[in-house]
């Protein structure tokens, strides 16, 4: 159910920023001062239409930002992606510029609170404003620059919604049919909440597997700790004193496993327990575990009455996506778009 046009979602500007774009600010009027001779190429207009123009430096900045953002996420662009990027970015910038040019003063005002909420959500994912700004710097951005991009994308979404979405009402029968056909998306699997004493089988310094002798020693220690747990020793204290993983200790050993996970041995042992039950020493792909069941959480299905609004939002988005290509092509024709790149 992923949107083809990321600016359609409630936080579309965030998606665009993090995945591909990093749009530059669009020149809505001609430059007020003549460029220096050595900057002529940078300030060449590469695309224009009624009310806007995009320069070479606009496009270059967007491309650099997109590549830096992807690299910062540990997913650098390959050669084939890089080769196609210029055309993709220019088309995306033209689309945004046309929609910004079409926006009324009322639509710009309407978009501002949405942009503010999106920025606040992004900032809340970081421990401090300084940390957030440092991450932006890795993509060659400033906070003011990001604010501008978020606002522009919120305006774009508002213009599209007003043109294609707001007058469309999803029939109740369509929403109910979608719910029945996609029931798995509204069903939470069975879960179990546990405490876990964890004995990893990797050397903490080298991250290499421990020797067979060390592995046997760790297993004997785990068996000894399990006997203490069975004898009634406080399980949280055993986590603190014997678990070899720092994160596990910080959480008091607490973990939630979901039915259908990747580690079948750990899952089978966990779901076999009743509350307060203690598992045998369990071998998983990462090490040895001793589990104590805190709570079993049964599978639940969200009723249609609770899911209805999100379903309608999804179907409205699909409706807009169906109409959007023709809407944008018409707007492109009306804007007399010219692309001046070779």
What domains does the chain contain, in order, with CATH numbers?
6-177+303-339 (1.10.4030.10), 190-298 (3.10.50.40)
Q: According to the model, what pLDDT value does residue 147 have?
A: 93
Q: Per-residue pLDDT tens for 62-101? A: 888 888 888 877 788 888 888 889 999 999 999 999 999 9
**C-beta neighbour count of 296 within 10 angstroms:** 16
For residues 31 and 157, what is the distance between their CA atoms, to the nearest angstrom?
27
Determine the distance from the C-alpha atom of residue 184 to the mean position of all C-alpha atoms in its chain, rounded to a whole number: 21
Calpha distance 148→311 (Å, rounded): 31
**Structure tokens of 322?**
């169906």
Which residue, 267, 232, 231, 245, is CA-closest to 197? 245
With a cut of 70, list the residues of the chain below it in pLDDT.
1-42
Q: Residue 82's pLDDT is what? A: 83
According to the model, what pLDDT value does residue 158 have? 95
Backbone angles phi, psi at 137, to 5 degrees: -65, -30
pLDDT score recorded for residue 116: 94
Overall pTM surpassing 0.75 (yes/no): no
Beta strands 45-49 and 187-188, pairing class: unpaired
- Report how far residue 320's alpha carbon sits from residue 314's, in angstroms, rounded to the nearest whole number: 10
E strand spans, the chain: 45-49, 52-55, 187-188, 191-200, 254-258, 282-283, 287-297, 300-301, 338-339
Q: For residue 297, give the 3-state DSSP assignment.
A: strand
């Amino acid at each position: 159910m992923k949107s083809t046009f990321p600016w359609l979602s409630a936080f579309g500007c965030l998606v665009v920023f993090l995945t591909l774009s990093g749009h530059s600010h669009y020149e809505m009027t001609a430059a007020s001062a003549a460029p220096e001779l050595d900057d002529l190429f940078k300030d060449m207009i590469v695309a224009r239409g009624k009310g806007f123009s995009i320069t070479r430096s606009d496009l270059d900045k967007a491309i650099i930002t997109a590549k830096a953002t992807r690299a910062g996420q540990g997913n650098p662009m390959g050669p084939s992606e890089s080769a196609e990027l210029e055309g993709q970015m220019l088309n995306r910038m033209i689309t945004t510029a046309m929609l910004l040019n079409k926006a009324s003063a009322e639509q710009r005002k309407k978009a501002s609170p949405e942009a503010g909420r999106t920025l606040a959500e992004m900032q809340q994912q970081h421990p401090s404003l300084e940390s957030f700004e440092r991450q932006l710097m890795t993509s060659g951005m400033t906070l003011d620059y990001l604010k501008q991009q978020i606002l522009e994308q919120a305006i774009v979404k508002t213009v599209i919604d007003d043109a294609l979405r707001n007058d469309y009402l999803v029939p109740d029968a369509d929403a109910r049919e979608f719910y029945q056909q996609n029931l798995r998306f509204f069903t939470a699997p069975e879960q179990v909440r546990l405490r876990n004493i964890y004995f990893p089988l990797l050397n903490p310094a080298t991250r290499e597997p421990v020797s067979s002798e060390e592995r046997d020693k760790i297993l004997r220690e785990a068996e000894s700790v399990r006997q203490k747990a069975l004898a009634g020793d406080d399980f949280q204290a055993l986590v603190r004193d014997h678990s070899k993983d720092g994160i596990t200790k910080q959480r008091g050993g607490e973990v939630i496993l979901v039915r259908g996970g990747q580690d079948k041995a750990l899952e089978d042992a966990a779901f076999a327990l009743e509350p307060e039950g203690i598992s045998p020493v369990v071998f998983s792909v990462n090490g040895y575990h001793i589990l104590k069941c805190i709570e079993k959480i049964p599978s639940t299905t969200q009723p249609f009455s609770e899911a209805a609004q999100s379903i309608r939002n999804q179907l409205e988005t699909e409706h807009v996506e169906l109409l959007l290509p023709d809407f944008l092509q018409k707007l492109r024709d009306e804007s007399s778009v010219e692309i001046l790149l070779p």
